[in-house]
A and B are shown apart, each in its own frame.
Chain A
């Protein structure tokens, strides 16, 4: 078992995912099964192999630093679950 019940809670907390007990059990078992499968990568000797993060050789894409037009405030707030006075409204952060 690579992932314990405690690990599942820790990962869920990192991912900001609320899970119920049934989900914790299910994901714990499934993640262990998937990770056992993924272990086959260790059959390969990758010492000295460069990691690939991007397949096309594009680097350092720059553009001129000129101001463009922004999304109007009303449109930016148009999909907000809660907005007030031209701002996104969220639960209180600081007591």
Chain B
């Protein structure tokens, strides 16, 4: 077997049995990167030297942490000490963090090997990775199509076997939608489950880091390492962290699965609908009880999100002013320097969102937009609480369509925003959700099934996703690269 095809769990087993060394696996991964990266373009920075440097510090088989010797990629909006971290923005092109984010710190302690930092829509603002300030990442299943976004680099790198797994971040679907588009597993944990310290902030009340992997079990293994309270992030929850891999095989017998009628509406691609309905049928066949539920405010989620997320972003991105780090343009005076720096450093989507957020927060409009959106957020959250009084998990399509073509939506921001229609409510409610491959269109494009759970109940959505995954072979397919 080609070692770069391995997932995390299988690689750990192989190393445990002494059938492959960390160096064998790392060689295979970099060989794969050399072979396909020119076409996929998943990475902003490949960290080959650092990766081989880390090999020497690893113990033998059975020694070291739970991810000892596992090559992973990290989205380039998480700070890595001494390794440049760009957010795929010109304004941070030369930024080398003097500190390590909490998630990558935990990964380091677990023995992982960083192979590179992956491309994203600038500051994670986008659904296609076309908004990267550097280049467009391609979908490994069809190089003419987008990988989704904003964690498109991480999802493409995993799908193309350029790493064994990766981290992404998800503010409105940025882990789950690219995972669906690229045929891999993407998990957004409960808000507060994973520390955001060192994640460059986009919308602080919505941002959450999570794994993108080749299997549900791998997702659980990564979540085990990155979860837990962190005193450096005051919004990280002091909740107990279970072993997410322990209960995966318990099956779905008796599990109540809700299917929200508002997610099967006009605009849903018929092939996506077919795959998702068949997947729900498979889960029912495994002993789950499927019932219809209603999330009545679903149609208001995108509007709510684009007020709240842009407002928070306009505030968070005020820090990029050309003074302490990043790019600086010359100006006549201080304010002119700020304006020229931000004009040259930010791309069009980031500027658009800063403008919208600044407007929504400006004097006279706060109540009409920001406060109104916060109130609708309460209603959306209440929808989920009501549904979860009756069901254990909710199953939906991850995205209304499969991967679209590069260039198709880039000139129409509203159409691009609407591609996140099935993922955004989850962030507004703060609940966890996982996207798992559930079939392919007639053109061979992957489709994702989204399983949504209660606050801090990642165990149940992982269990349901795993039960589905092992009874199908979608996750075994690989793109024709």
Contact = CB atoms under 8 A, between A and B. Distances in A.
B98 A51 contact: no
A55 B191 contact: yes
Contacts of B381: 52, 55
Contacts of B455: 55-56
A88 B328 CA distance: 12
A14 B334 contact: no
B3 to A, nearest CB: 37
A77 to B, nearest CB: 9
A78 B98 contact: yes
Query: Main SS of the interface on chain A?
Result: loop
**On chain B, which size bracket covers the interface?**
35 or more
A1 interface: no
Contacts of A30: 352, 413
Given A11-B358, A49-B378, A56-B235, A19 B324 contact: no
B404 interface: no
B343 interface: yes
Contacts of A76: 98
Interface string B340-380: 10110010100110111011001000000101111111110
A15 B98 CA distance: 27
Nearest to A12: B355
Nearest to B354: A15
A55 B351 contact: no
A28 B191 CA distance: 34
Interface in B280-339: 297, 299-300, 302-304, 306-307, 314, 318, 321-328, 331-339
Interface of B: 94-96, 98-99, 190-192, 205, 231, 234-235, 237, 297, 299-300, 302-304, 306-307, 314, 318, 321-328, 331-340, 342-343, 346, 348, 351-352, 354-356, 358-359, 362, 369, 371-379, 381, 413-414, 417, 428-430, 455
Given A81-B326, A91-B336, 16 more contacts: A8-B355, A17-B346, A18-B339, A18-B340, A30-B413, A34-B417, A38-B369, A40-B303, A49-B378, A51-B371, A56-B190, A56-B237, A56-B455, A79-B96, A80-B325, A93-B333
Interface of A: 3, 7-8, 11-12, 14-19, 23, 27, 30-31, 33-35, 37-38, 40-44, 46, 49-56, 58, 61, 63, 71, 75-76, 78-82, 88, 90-93
